[in-house]
Amino acid sequence: MSQTILIEDNFDLQKLFAINLQNFVGTDIIHRENAQDTLSLLKILPQVSLIISRAKVHGEPTAKILYDFIKEEGLNTSLIVLGECPEISHEILCLSEPISWEIIVKQAAKNLGVNLEVSHKVKVDYVPVSLHYFYEINQTPCDIYIRIKKGRDQFQFIKRIHQNDSFDRTTIQKYEEQGLKEFYILHEYVQYFTTFVTNALITRLERDDLTLEDRILTTSYAHEIVRERLQQLEIDQASIELSETSINSMVQSVRNSLEMVSLIKFLFSNKVSYAYQHAHLLALMCHYILSKQSWYKLEHLNILSFVAFFADTTLKTTPQMRISSEKELNASQLTEAEKEEVRFHAKDAFNIVSLHPEANQFIKTIILQSHGRLDGISFSDDPSEELHPLSQIFIIADHFVRILLNPELPSNKKDILAIMSKKYSGESYKKIMKALEQKFV
């Protein structure tokens, strides 16, 4: 699904525009309050297809700032301005008042390649597909397009890879180096294309001769694909199969892991998302703690790896994933809607994972308790002894990895454990941290 940023300071209009854009244009709406807010998001989410912004917000020349940024960065993001903005109206569509939601929907549909039928049912012609779908395939079952700007508010879709053409990772990397963030495929091929990519990834992950590095990289692409699909809060057969194979592959990599320093170096030097860096290191830390327990069985690692793979799956951005306390959440620059997503993410993950046939009672319980609360809402500052012992291990491993991955916090084990020891008063948590004090392999 395409993503659209909406900057509208009138709360009622904001709701009205968002609902209709979602319903009629089928685009995912991300709310932003001003230009600064939007620029921070564009830096981490440059694939946003469209921005709909008020010309000015509280005196700030919002549209002009966004226009300059898009131009400077050479982004393929289009802009629709609500209200007069003479400085940029020669190049950008600026809608004059009165602005109805119907006009916005019509213009957004034009920009995103969506056909609005007379019946007002959405007919999406072209659907964006992130580049990570293409890294593990060398052929596609359908034609692949790119979107280019044709006029002030018009886009054209040009065929770039023909069905059954051969290509490799270098070809895709070249597109990426030129600033391309996503390809497009015709709507009717989405299911077919996804099944094709899923099968290719599963076949690759099931190979025995993959190097550890290749296995981690392929699992990270699979993780991105599953996350993207689950963010619609649905789970389908392709996501179920792909996640099962990916988790098995993750367990296999964790059990034969590289030395910690080399692993971190590898995770950072490659195009591995923050989400997968976190999930993989988290499974590794769980494995490390589990291996020090007398009762440890492989099944425990399978359970905690499953949870690590899915726990933050409903969160859309890295800043959301970095939050690990209510205090951090309140101090963050996230919008109110994003804060709510963070607050409820353990419960949301629990709801969606409950539909996964492999999710047993342990998995569901640990996901719900993954931030120290029994109800899966918000965060606990000092998790209680009441939580399941596997949840306690997960919480300690998760906290350790979040500090390790935070560039503003220490990255050596001794300092990380010193920070952590201030938080947990429960004896069992202290015991788990003791296991982490021992030398990593």
Binding residues (CB under 5 A) for Fe ion: these are 311-312
- Of residues 32 and 347, the one with the C-beta less far from Fe ion: 347
- Collapsing DSSP to helix, strand or coil, 189 comes out as helix
CA–CA separation, 310 and 304 (whole Å) = 10
Residue 212 Cβ vs Fe ion, minimum distance, rounded to whole Å: 26
Residue 321 Cβ vs Fe ion, minimum distance, rounded to whole Å: 7
CA–CA separation, 272 and 278 (whole Å) = 10
- Of residues 187 and 388, the one with the C-beta less far from Fe ion: 388
Residue of 275, 285, 210, 273 lying closest to 245 (CA atoms): 210
- Of residues 34 and 369, the one with the C-beta less far from Fe ion: 369
Look up tokens 């020669």; give the residue.
Answer: 90
- Of residues 172 and 226, the one with the C-beta less far from Fe ion: 226
- Of residues 199 and 318, the one with the C-beta less far from Fe ion: 318
- Of residues 197 and 395, the one with the C-beta less far from Fe ion: 395
3-state helix, strand, coil in the chain (%, to 5): 50, 10, 35
CA–CA separation, 283 and 267 (whole Å) = 14
404, burial (CB in 10 Å: exposed 0-12, middle 13-18, buried 19+): buried
Nearest residue relative to Fe ion (C-beta): 312
- Please report the DSSP string for 51-115 in residue order: EEEES-BTTB-HHHHHHHHHHHHT---EEEEES--TTTTTTSEEEPSS--HHHHHHHHHHHHTEE
Residue 345 Cβ vs Fe ion, minimum distance, rounded to whole Å: 6
Residue 191 Cβ vs Fe ion, minimum distance, rounded to whole Å: 30
- Of residues 289 and 311, the one with the C-beta less far from Fe ion: 311
Are the C-beta atoms of 50 and 5 separated by less than 8 Å? yes
Residue 201 Cβ vs Fe ion, minimum distance, rounded to whole Å: 24
Q: Which residues contact 198 (CB under 8 A, 6 or more apart)?
A: 225, 238, 241, 242
Residue 370 Cβ vs Fe ion, minimum distance, rounded to whole Å: 5
Residue 322 Cβ vs Fe ion, minimum distance, rounded to whole Å: 10
